[in-house]
Chain A
Amino acid sequence: MRVGVVTFPGSLDDVDAQRAVRIGGHEAVALWHGDHDLKGVDAVVLPGGFSYGDYLRCGAISRFSPVMAEVVEAAGRGMPVLGICNGFQILCESHLLPGALIRNDHRKFVCRDQRLRIENTRTPWTSAYDEGAEVTIVLKNGEGGFVADAETLDRIEGEGQVVARYLEVNPNGSLRDIAGITNERGNVVGLMPHPEHAVESLTGAGTDGLGFFTSLGRLVEQAFS
């Protein structure tokens, strides 16, 4: 598959995301925030970083970049979209995902190898995992506290939209230990930890993140129009 990785001004992890896409067996296509088309890609990754310097709110300015209009439209047609960290924040600001990410409750930037449980394996980004799989993926954020009102939290839990949950330690005050969620349709996934940093044994805590990129391969035979 051809997987687009968007670079915003201030993106940090776009090159790592491209690399993870390739290691996952796909072609990485660089997309620019000012692009008015998605270059015919089959899926899109919004990488981590500090797009637009986190001005106003994390992801608030990126949401209105030209490429995001295309991403929102393609997501509406069912294209798989993965937002990692800042990408997750952009997806929430774009209202492609419910809730919002706020400053960590302990007010410190956190960087740690984080234990997670993968709870939804029906998305195009998580189908390579066994349901309930416990993995270790690096987490690094200053504003990773997932919040939503109680009714929304009940709904996304009830509908199985929680993709990943923090285990052992809640690193940022996320309500109900939520680390990642998906939309109702299941094609858009936002995740605060960084699977693109956990795809090679040479660096980091292991290769537990690779599944997010190999899962897409299972889509090849499926239609998503």
Chain B
Amino acid sequence: MPRSSTRTRLNRLGTVPKVVVDVMPKPEILDPQGKAVHGALPRLGFSGVTDVRQGKRFELELAGEVTDEVLDQVRQMAETLLSNPVIENFEVRVEHSEGAA
């Protein structure tokens, strides 16, 4: 039996709604971390990678249904805190993972 706190998070599909925010450095902004990873790959014997960009992934677990209003709120969070719009772009999407059985 799922704990009640888990059960309340399950939606109609029996899944835990999760909103994912991907934050990436803007294409025109230098990404030194991505460059470092790109430089390390051939040293480890991995070839054929022509570029690496490193970003951040935020997974937000939400208390209720993911409505358009909720997604708007998440976009505000992304603009305000999760990303710096001066140097980063972000994408918001909903992911459904299997709830506890």
Listed in ascending order, the chain A residues whose CB lies under 8 Å from chain B are 56-57, 60, 64, 92-93, 98-100, 102-107, 145, 147-149, 173
Listed in ascending order, the chain B residues whose CB lies under 8 Å from chain A are 25, 28-30, 32-33, 35-36, 81-82, 84, 86-87
Do A64 and B32 touch across chains, with their CB atoms under 8 A apart? no
Residues of A near B25 (CB, < 8 A) are 102
Q: Per a CB cutoff under 8 Å, which of B29, B32, B87 touches A107?
A: B32
Residues of B near A148 (CB, < 8 A) are 86
Q: Per a CB cutoff under 8 Å, which of B30, B81, B87 touches A105?
A: B30
Do A147 and B81 touch across chains, with their CB atoms under 8 A apart? no
How many pairs of residues, A versus B, come closer than 8 Å at their CB atoms? 38
Do B29 and A102 touch across chains, with their CB atoms under 8 A apart? yes
Given contacts A56-B81, A60-B81, A64-B81, contact A100 B87 (CB under 8 A): yes
Taken together as a complex, chains A and B put the C-alpha atoms of A103 and B87 apart, in Å, by: 12
Do B86 and A103 touch across chains, with their CB atoms under 8 A apart? no
Identify 8 new A-B residue pairs, CB closer than 8 A, beyond the known A60-B81, A102-B25, A145-B32: A56-B81, A99-B86, A102-B32, A104-B32, A105-B32, A147-B87, A173-B30, A173-B32
Complex A-B: 9 CB contacts under 8 Å: A60-B81, A60-B84, A92-B86, A100-B84, A102-B25, A102-B29, A104-B32, A145-B30, A148-B86
Taken together as a complex, chains A and B put the C-alpha atoms of A57 and B86 apart, in Å, by: 12
Q: Per a CB cutoff under 8 Å, which of A60, A98, A99, A102 touches B30?
A: A102
Residues of A near B35 (CB, < 8 A) are 107
Taken together as a complex, chains A and B put the C-alpha atoms of A99 and B82 apart, in Å, by: 17
Q: Per a CB cutoff under 8 Å, which of B29, B30, B84 touches A57?
A: B84
